[in-house]
Structure 1
Amino acid sequence: MRDLDLLIDAARTAGDIAKRYFNAAPEVWEKSGGQGPVTEADLHVNRQLEADLQAARPDYGWLSEETEDGKARQKTDRQFIVDPIDGTRAFIEGSRDWAHSLAVVENGRPVAAVVYLPIRDALYAAALGEGATLNGVTLTAQSDKPMSDATLLTTKPTVDPKHWRAGVPPFKRTFRSSLAFRLALVAEGRFDGMLTFRPTWEWDVAAGALIVDEAGGKATTKDGHAPQFNNDHPQINGMVAAGGIHDQIIAALA
């Protein structure tokens, strides 16, 4: 079985588990250090994904938001990078906009990726050099357009003038709580781009970054560099993902 097919099967199993807890008052805990909530659904999905994926690829490393990082992954040639539920707050609130985010990384670069939204039955997938799809239909990111006509997925702090070279460009701003879903929507061409300037956990964006790239867009750190994954500290320097306006966004940043 190809890595991508393995991720697709695992994501669908994860969705079946998560739906049992959705809108069913799952137990919720607050993580230490202000890292946000985690539910029993996150933990159940994480256990299942780790068991299934590591059984199929025991030589791959493992990095997940809900598994303590022992750094053994850095001695492996390939790694799974997983967020069992990206958008846990949305999950708790009963929104449909949470996702399972699964990637395989080799030499710091994603080579297979799935972002799956079970309640929407939307499965975004990509393999390096093979394009990106939504439920089997090929995706194409938005082509060039002026920033003044663009709609970007991002949070309110992003429009603080301190982040911009010559004032905030006149783009429209909207939001989805899951970073993985934001990236997938850019790949789908429904939005022109997404921005996050905070240090960004690898498990939130590894899968979505490949899906954007394979849809003909570009996903980079906020300084315009290709993101490198499987770092000792698993964060990257923000993310800017877009179709044709990607370089315009990078040029406008302070």
Structure 2
Amino acid sequence: MPAHDLPLLIDAARKAGQVATGYAGATAQRWDKPDGAGPVTEADLAVNDLLLTTLRGARPGYGWLSEETEDTDARLGHDHVFIIDPIDGTRSFVEGSDTWAHALAVAERGIVTAAVVYLPMLDRLYAASLHGGATLNGAPINASSGTDLQNATVLAAKPALIASNWKGSVCPQFKRSYRPSLAYRLALVAQGRFDAMITLRRSWEWDIAAGALIVSEAGGRCTDRTGSALRFNNPDPRLNGVVAGGATVHGALTSALA
């Protein structure tokens, strides 16, 4: 049951925050992953170890998909799977920023049922369970009800604005902003602080799973770049981009994409 898993995720996320904040980002040992996959630090691995022990210790029958654990097809044989990003926004962590997050989710047969995005440096804990609504630090949150794409605030990296991504090679004239953590971008959309977010590159499930449920439970929509529903625990754990936002702005964005 989603409500059964959510308290476990919340407790684990707070413990992860205690571990991660025990490292000084700029001085934490770090190295680059192969094939340009980005940096990883000793803090990422310490948090991953904690979550693996805590979560699978509590739910030994659940599968496991994490950015910092070598993936195998064993998870495909489980109805329930943890989908984890120990630190989403590692570059921000290294730079000493406060906008990195822990992203924790449970998916049941491809559908996310419980989720947490926690920013320990800001003490912001976003949470949701399927059909249970979304909260920030325990208070209900709601996605934007804005209807005007031209005046919408959209979280997006600059490459998303390239003309070839849009029908007629014309990018809509929305107001662009940016946050490095994908999980945090989704949480901000769920909170209604931004009208939408888009990422058009193939995106790892661990970056998206938690935030996707939080958006949908806050009354927004979260799909791939074509408007198709997201499913998780795929053999290849990458999604075809992500578009999230209030229902009207989400529809306008997906309609405008090439």
3-state SS of the aligned residue for 1:2? helix
Which one-letter code corresponds to 2:202 in the other structure? Answer: P
Question: Structure 1 residue 187 and structure 2 residue 215: aligned?
Answer: no
Aligned to 1:246: 250
Instruction: Please name the residue that 1:35 is paired with.
Output: 37
Secondary structure of the equivalent of 1:104?
strand
Equivalence map 1:9-28=2 (5 Å): 9-23=11-25, 25-28=27-30
**What is residue 231 of structure 1 aligned with on the other side?**
234
One of 7, 10, 19 as aligned partner of 1:8: 10
**Residue 24 (structure 1) shift:** 5.7
Q: Which amino acid aligns with 1:215?
A: A
TM-score by length of 1: 0.99
Aligned residue-pair number = 254
Cα drift, residue 22 of structure 1:
3.3
Shift of 1:156: 0.3
Distance in structure 2 (CA, Å) of the matches to 1:12 and 1:22: 18
Superposed CA RMSD: 0.9
Give 1:2 shift. 1.6
Paired with 2:171 and 2:188, the residues of 1 have a C-alpha distance of: 23
Counterparts of residues 210-225 of structure 1 (less than 5 Å): 210-225=213-228
TM-score if structure 2 supplies the norm length?
0.97
Alignment of 1:166-205 (within 5 A): 166=168, 167-205=170-208
Deviation at 1:70, TM superposition (A): 1.6
Shift of 1:180: 0.1
Establish whether residue 151 from structure 1 lines up as the match of residue 144 from structure 2: no
Query: Structure 2 stretches of 5 or more lacking a match?
Result: none
Q: Which residue of 2 aligns with 1:103?
A: 105
Greater CA drift, 123-132 or 241-250 = 241-250
2:253 partner amino acid: I
Gaps of 5+ in 1: none
Residue deviations 1:212-239, cap 9 Å, x none?
A: 0000000000000111100001001000
Whole-Å separation in 1 of the counterparts to 2:208 and 2:24: 23
Structure 1 segments of 4+ aligned residues over 2 angstroms from their partners: none
Distance 2:43 2:25 in 1: 11
List aligned pairs for 1:122-161, cutoff 5 A.
122-161=124-163
Find the counterpart in structure 2 of residue 80 from structure 1.
82
Q: Which moved more, 1:111-120 or 1:14-23?
A: 14-23
Please give the alpha-carbon distance, in whole angstroms, between the structure 2 residues aligned to 1:22 and 1:96: 12
Query: Matched residues in 2 for 1:235 and 1:241: separation?
Result: 16
Partner deviation per Cα, 1:172-209 (whole Å, 9 max, x = no partner) = 11110000000000000000100000010000000000
Counterpart-to-counterpart distance in 1, 2:158 and 2:24: 28
CA–CA distance in structure 2, aligned partners of residues 58 and 39 of structure 1:
27
Q: CA-to-partner distance for each residue in 1:78-107, whole Å, 9 max, x for gaps?
A: 000000000000000011110000000011
Of 55, 58, 64, the match for 1:56:
58
| Post-superposition offset of 1:71 | 1.4
